[in-house]
Chain A
Amino acid sequence: MTAAFMDTPASSYLEVEDLQVHFSTEDGVVKSVDGLSFHVDRGQTLGIVGESGSGKSVTSMAVMGLHTASNASITGSIKLDGQELVGASRETIRLLRGKKMSMIFQDPLSSMHPLYTVGNQIVEAYRIHNDVSKKAARSHAIDMLDRVGIPEPAKRIDAYPHQFSGGMRQRAMIAMSLSCDPDLLIADEPTTALDVTVQAQILDLIRDLQKEFNSAVVIITHDLGVVAELADDIMVMYAGRAAEYGSAEKLFNAPEHPYTWGLLGSMPRFDQAPTDRLMPIKGTPPSLIQVPSGCAFNPRCDYQPRVGPACLDQRPDLVDNSSDHFVACHIPPAERQQIWAQEISPRLS
């Protein structure tokens, strides 16, 4: 199976090219996203993985046109179904939200209006894009709540967000996001606030609904387990850039970036016998005001001494090493594969 993003990039539903999102602050320019390219097709799921401050949420907000702060500067290109979003007016993007693209946020309580019923909020979104009566919109909203598995939807539609449990709220949020059949769904940590059994329900729901609507899905998470469940392609982000990008099979079974190795070593594996020690990455993620020169990961990388000064002063480009696997690392590809096979992989299992 080849990764979707290599096949016909020209026709991808969402295409992001050299995206940069910078914020000027009193302390300096925060380069939250600094040269990021990726694409997602309809029916495909891209998982964006990274730690806090890696730029994954800033990327999704940029796609949704939600960076309205005056200190934000966005350059590069974001094309949704061929339409350029960088530089588009707020009104243009507002009309795309809901119908063409939609977002599920991490915390449904703070992203729903507490004074309106759940039903009202779904009806409002639906009527912006569809010229229907309130009554028809309401019955559509009940349908949607039913679809996401809310019991007694005809009764619960008049409930306020605080009357729902966390899992129900997240479902109501998904119902709202999907009420206009969006072509692109961005889910930013959709299950982080949820318990594991509810998380499983929500992930199943996203998977089922994607199949039904043939949407393009971008799922942003720090949980490698969640992307392994859902994603076709995975992009690992570090300090505002892609460290590694490829099919989920490649990323989990033959990862080539030392940061990806570090993430896999940090995580207790649930599917294998327990190991004695985790293998964490040393140090902490960098400040985005003073990103280390060269490869941003070099202060935390165990392999930097092997490569030498290139890591310290040359920023590695994201290079296609084989047909569908992009890695931004100065270690030569053959050596990386050898390190994975001989040093990292045996320690993980």
Chain B
Amino acid sequence: MTTSDIEDTPPTDTPGPVRHASRTPDRVSENLLVVEDLVKHFPIKGGLLQRTTGAVQAVDGVNFEVRRGETFSIVGESGCGKSTTARLITRLLEPTGGKVTFEGHDITHLSDAKMRPMRRDIQMIFQDPFSSLNPRHTVGKIVGAPYKLQGVTPEGGRKKAVQDLLETVGLSPEHYNRYPHEFSGGQRQRIGIARTLALKPKLIVADEPVSALDVSIQAQVVNLLEDLQEELDLTYVMIAHDLSVVRHVSDRVAVMYLGKIVEIGDRDDLYDRPRHPYTVAMLSAVPVADTKRRHQRERIRLEGDVPSPINPPPACRFHTRCWKAQDLCRTEEPPLLQIGTAPHSEHKVACHFPVDPPASPVG
């Protein structure tokens, strides 16, 4: 049995609904999730007595809110704390400090037992569709597991519900008795998504949902996620490093660097008018699939590597690599402040010397 024997019928051939008009949050901008001063330090133990000798400051005081129905993305390079943030809001990790509020309930320090009912509403899609599915379980068992764990009997029985879910994500109901190894990467990611949808969650946290997939398959899954959001009224928190994909899917974006949010704003504000030097440098580094412009683009080359999160630079953490850094940046930490010109602008930057916005919007 090879992967190609399984007919893939993605629901992507028909043009989808025009989404952008309906998802701009002019309906109700109600916060589904609020994160305040979130901190996660992983202790480093060493020596004979395994005493704590330091801490990896993975997430260090992060604030944001996620509104119902939107896609909120967190971008940043490896080690910036974006995946840790995802695991904190899904409570796979216990926060060191701060507060996570979901639909008005403080879930920061809920016990496993008390968290369990909340897990129906908060689900996660993982990056690697190979290690996140049990190879010894059939697709039916994998996708039906949430029902079993939560003791839910869906209408029409579990098997019927699982087969409906498989159809929703573009797989065939006949795949019910197959095993994960019979599927390709893109199909496995669909199985993972079907499992995520089983309990009709309100919030889906997707940690690099498409980065392990081939380009053509990646686009299928991106379209699927968009369709599902529309149909099922989902809210996404997307963790990703691919800035092109993030721009395509997001309503709002936060940029993280060494455990802190350095810039946050609407997708267009952030991509067309980036103000933090790190955002500017990162965006300028994205390779563009256009041969005509390859020599015209101005690229900001960052020197060196990201410093260690065990001992991050004082004050502004980016000052060691920033071309605009001055003495102030080394002594005083810049707060995340509103910078947009519009009165209700939600564009915020943590920088003493933000980059001037371009004279005319790019695009």
Contacts and interface: CB of A to CB of B under 8 A. Distances in A.
A329 to B, nearest CB: 17
Nearest to B10: A282
B360 interface: no
Prevailing SS type, chain A contact patch? loop
A280 B247 contact: no
A296 to B, nearest CB: 11
B138 interface: no
B26 interface: no
B244 A280 contact: no
Contact of A268 (B4, B244, B290): B244
A266 B248 CA distance: 11
Contact of B287 (A195, A203, A275): A203
Contacts, number: 156
B291 A253 contact: yes
B4 A271 contact: no
Contacts of B293: 271
Given A277-B15, A286-B4, A287-B4, A228 B215 contact: no
Given A268-B247, A282-B8, A199 B287 contact: yes
Interface in A267-295: 267-287, 289-290
A268 B226 CA distance: 14
Given A203-B287, A284-B187, A287-B2, A270 B220 contact: no
B244 A267 contact: yes
Contact of A269 (B15, B187, B244): B244
Nearest to B268: A274
A201 B218 CA distance: 26
Name the residue in A51, A195, A270, A285 with the highest tally of chain B Cβ atoms < 10 Å from its Cβ. Answer: A270
Interface in A198-256: 198-201, 203-204, 222-226, 228-229, 248-249, 252-253
Given A280-B216, A284-B184, A287-B2, A199 B285 contact: yes
A52 interface: yes
Nearest to A252: B291
A25 to B, nearest CB: 12
Contacts of B305: 165, 167-168, 198
B286 interface: yes
A263 B243 CA distance: 18
B286 A196 contact: yes
A249 B291 contact: yes
Contacts of A269: 244, 289
Contact of B288 (A167, A201, A225, A286): A225
Given A277-B16, A278-B222, A283 B8 contact: yes
A213 to B, nearest CB: 21
A134 B217 CA distance: 50
Nearest to B286: A270
B291 A277 contact: no
A192 to B, nearest CB: 10
Contacts of B243: 196, 270
A89 interface: no
B291 A248 contact: yes
Contact of B12 (A51, A203, A253, A282): A282
Name the residue in B2, B218, B220, B305 with the highest tally of chain A Cβ atoms < 10 Å from its Cβ. Answer: B305
B304 A151 contact: yes
A101 interface: no
A85 to B, nearest CB: 30
A51 B287 contact: no
Contacts of A287: 2-4
A224 B289 contact: yes
A43 interface: no
B interface bracket (residues with beta carbon within 8 Å of A): 35 or more
A334 B225 CA distance: 37
Contacts of B287: 199-200, 203, 223, 225-226, 228-229
B214 A52 contact: yes
A201 B244 contact: no
Nearest to B267: A274
Contact of B219 (A166, A225, A266, A272): A266
Interface in B1-32: 2-4, 7-8, 10, 12-13, 15-16, 18-20
A262 interface: yes
A345 B159 CA distance: 44
B18 A276 contact: yes
Contacts of A52: 185, 214
A282 B299 CA distance: 35
B46 to A, nearest CB: 17
B215 A271 contact: no
B294 interface: yes
A119 interface: no
Contacts of A275: 248
A172 interface: no
A264 B289 contact: yes
A195 B77 contact: yes
A112 to B, nearest CB: 17
B294 A200 contact: no
Given A273-B363, A278-B223, 15 more contacts: A51-B214, A168-B305, A196-B77, A198-B305, A228-B289, A228-B294, A252-B291, A270-B243, A272-B363, A274-B247, A276-B18, A277-B223, A282-B12, A283-B8, A284-B184
In order of increasing CB-CB distance, the 10 nearest A-B pairs are A225-B287, A280-B219, A266-B219, A200-B285, A195-B77, A268-B248, A51-B214, A281-B216, A278-B219, A287-B2
Interface of A: 27, 51-52, 151, 165-168, 195-201, 203-204, 222-226, 228-229, 248-249, 252-253, 262-287, 289-290
